[in-house]
Amino acid sequence: MTGRGVAVVRPGALTTVQDLGRPGYAHLGVVRSGALDPAAVRLVNRLVGNAEGAAVLETTVDGCAVRARCAVTVAVGGAPCPVRVDGRPAAWGTAVRVAAGSVVEAGTAVRGLRAYVAFGGGIEVEPVLGSRSTDLLSGLGPAPLARGAVLPLGTETPVRVPIDVPPWPGPPDALVLRVRLGPRDDWFTPGALRTLATRAYRVSPASNRIGLRLEGPALERAVPGELASEGMVLGAVQVPPDGRPVVFLADHPTTGGYPVVGVVREADLGAAAQAVPGTAVRFVPVR
């Protein structure tokens, strides 16, 4: 209505619209979705004067580029990457004022995987069940970005409290995941639980928004057979028949039939989403 918006120039490998997700509908089979690194989203939104849960772009590895159709404040955060406005270097992790017609680009991540691009006013695509997030598992929300697509923006509010030092830990060199055992740790041998607590895993390139897949020693089951499908939570460490744990991220299915040996602390999942394939992973059991 206001005509505010951005047009996609380069969508990148996978760029989606994400906010803080659509919790509350798991009983209907609706995935939570939402940004994989919510701390980064809160930060970039604050930088441009948005509410923390406004919709932003989540890129994967190689960033994206958009042309602003109006003057707008932009901030790029999450995975550190070169930022350019009309080809000229601009600051990462801070608010940048961009003129109508300018092309804003987030380049390939220097560290980490997922950069977040916030626009003043937020991306105002039509919400679905209270959220603008793209849900890649069940196809709710806007489609992943495609060249030429136009995303509407909301009305900007002035930045009231400028932030000098972004309080963001940055992507990890090695990932330490605190895990609380259960609900199905009794489906595994004592040796498997020892393996989980002591051995090193590596992030598999097959990881995606659904789960962080891990390479490393298989976890041996004490109880054979199938588990009747049960509700799944964010951070669940599900163990499929090959014994390699999968840590459920935002687009995880609402129910599943493989046993969950433990659940990773929610506070550790943002780092998990920024861990590049090959990153060393260690599980630390906590109460």
Partner 1 sequence: MSEDLSGAPSTDVRVRVLRVGERALLVELDGGAEAEAFHAEVLRRRAAGVLPAVREVVPAARTVLLDGVTDPDRLAAELPGWEVGPLSARVERVVEVPVRYDGPDLAEVAACWGVSAEEAVRIHTGTGFRVAFCGFAPGFGYLTGLDERYEVPRRATPRTAVPAGSVALAGPYTGVYPRSSPGGWQLIGTTDVVLWDTGRDPAALLSPGTRVRFTAEDAR
> Is there a cis peptide before residue 205, judged by omega within 30 degrees of 0?
no
| Piece of the chain touching partner 1 by CB under 8 A; list 43-51, 52-60, 158-166, 255-263 | 255-263
Per DSSP (E only), the strands in the chain are 5-10, 16-18, 56-58, 64-68, 72-78, 83-85, 88-90, 96-98, 103-106, 115-119, 150-152, 174-181, 201-203, 211-215, 230-231, 236-238, 246-248, 255-256, 260-264, 280-285
For 250, residues 6+ apart whose C-beta sits below 8 A from its C-beta are: 21, 31, 32, 33, 34, 35, 36, 133, 209, 234
DSSP codes of every residue in 101-162: TPEEEE---SSSS-EEEEETT-B-PPPBTTB---BTTTTBSSPPP-TT-EEEB-------S-
- Fill in the amino acid letter for 153: L
Contact pick of 70, 72, 264, 273 for partner 1 (by CB under 8 A):
264
**109, 236, 250, 273: which one contacts partner 1 (CB under 8 A)?**
236
Please tell me the distance from the alpha carbon of residue 153 to that of residue 130, in angstroms, as a whole number: 17
Stretch in the footprint of partner 1 (CB under 8 A) among 68-76, 85-93, 157-165, 226-234: 226-234
Residues facing 179 on adjacent strands: 264, 285
Q: Could you tell me which of 152, 127, 4, 164 has the C-alpha nearest to residue 71?
A: 4
Q: Is 240 in the site for partner 1 (CB under 8 A)?
A: no
* Nearest CB to partner 1, comparing residues 198 and 255: 255
CB of 80: closest distance to partner 1 in angstroms? 29
By the rule CB under 8 A, 107 interacts with partner 1: no
Q: Residues 144-183 vs partner 1: string with x where CB under 8 A?
A: ------------------------------------x-xx
Select from 6-14, 26-34, 38-46, 59-67 the region that touches partner 1 (CB under 8 A). 26-34
Looking at residue 219, the DSSP 8-state letter turns out to be P
By CB under 8 A, tell whether 265 contacts partner 1: yes
Point out which span in 22-30, 72-80, 84-92, 112-120 binds partner 1 (CB under 8 A): 22-30
- Contact between 231 and partner 1 (CB under 8 A)? yes
Task: Find the shortest distance in angstroms from Cβ 183 to partner 1.
Answer: 4
Where b means 16+ CB within 10 Å and e means fewer, 102-123 reads bbbbbbebeebbbbbbbbbbbb
Of 4 and 184, the one with the shorter C-beta distance to partner 1 is 184
Contact 281, 204 (CB under 8 A): no
Nearer to partner 1, 28 or 165 (CB): 28
Q: Which of 7, 26, 103, 210 binds partner 1 (CB under 8 A)?
A: 26
Interface mask toward partner 1 for 108-147; x: CB under 8 A: --------------------xx--------x-x-------
Out of 133, 207, 254, 274, the only residue in the binding site for partner 1 (CB under 8 A) is 254
Residue 210 touching partner 1 (CB under 8 A): no
Footprint on this chain of partner 1 (rule: CB under 8 A): 23-30, 128-129, 138, 140, 180, 182-184, 228-233, 235-236, 253-255, 260, 262-266
